[in-house]
Structure 1
Amino acid sequence: MTKENIAEPMKDIRRALLEAYVSLPVVRKFVQSVSDQAVRMGVIRGFKPDQQLVKIVHDELVKVMGGEVSEIQFVKSGPTVILLAGLQGVGKTTVCAKLAYYLKKQGKSCMLIAGDVYRPAAIDQLVILGERIGVPIYTAGTEVKPADIAKQGLKETKINNVNVVIMDTAGRLQVDKGMMDELKDVKRFLNPTETLLVVDAMTGQEAACNLCACRHLLRDNTSFYQ
């Protein structure tokens, strides 16, 4: 394989990635890496050039996507604390229940903390979901600061000897400094084992911008949850 005879398929790959809303710097790096590997490898006996190129593209896609699934880190003693954050309307409350249900099936005892005091019926929604999956919920109403809810909820978790506590938070905008400061206070009280940024799978490359902003503000290794 030479740069000349793979030029056309690489254009098609580049176009497909850009149409899928992949970040331009990522596309450039991806195309360059695939091209270099294809030219360096040459043709292997028993394989057609197009088959080899497909294999290289597949392996590079896996590499770009992370290669391995990152598992939740559990602490050896005391409750594992998971804080969920994200923009408005991305489904954090539902993810709380889904995550608790998943961990419950793994044999972990869980508790949910209702920390969204702004969205109408957010607490009611979490209570209903918690009842459906058989997981207790700590609620303190809408007149209590989220940081205080986090503090009291964590106390309840330790009293009840729960393995995992998951806290729901209000949706926020990056430009909303007050809400982001509030999230920082919640994080300080919780000292979470994991901070998960919930994003809409249709967000595209903007999700990376959200993650970078969240990491910068919270100063941690926030992870994605789509």
Structure 2
Amino acid sequence: MQQALTLYSYWRSSAAYRVRIGLNLKGLDYAIVPVHLVRDGGQQHAPAYAALNPQELVPALRDGDRVLTQSLAILEYLEETHPQPALLPADAAGRARVRALAQLVACDIHPLNNLRVLQFFDQEWNVPQAERDEWILHWMRTGFAAMEASLAASAQGGRFCHGDAPGLADCCLVPQLYNARRFHLDMEAFPTLRRIEAACLALPAFDAARPENQPDAA
């Protein structure tokens, strides 16, 4: 019998949110172990969790005796171990396009507004809140503008980022749009992103992964 998957997650972490969507799209059963990123100085820094994930970040996914880290690596692992339904297109060019869109979010937007970056600004450099907020909004606008242009101009679009089935890029886009709304980013300039988000959130796999639907939601 296959051992159950365990996801170490924080309800509002966009990286963990990506993985929850992927697990749900794959129809996989998993248990959630909450890791509160703020309480007790950040439970991700506790010795037991640091032994599990030396980066002291969420998510981490336990599959039997194997522990996986980094959300995109976890999603690619799920794609290889549970190929259907697919998160990546069948053709090489399509896979490259979807990975580029996913990385635009996960590598170029998200790290610049990650909790540990904002905590460093506050605790080490005493950056005022208004300036921290403008930093966040600037990099979100920049990244979303590029993504909007890429998606709006592509003939490979559809209901979702690539065609008419949700995939890896959608797993990354929806959590980042959730973050954008948390910080009150004006989304009027991004109609394609909003259209895709609405199509995604109408699906049970995305709805179940929403932060407010998690067992540790504050």
TM-score by length of structure 2 reads: 0.30
**Greater helix share, 1 or 2?**
2
Greater strand share, structure number: 1
Higher Cα Rg, which structure: 1
What TM-score do you get using the length of structure 1 for normalisation? 0.29
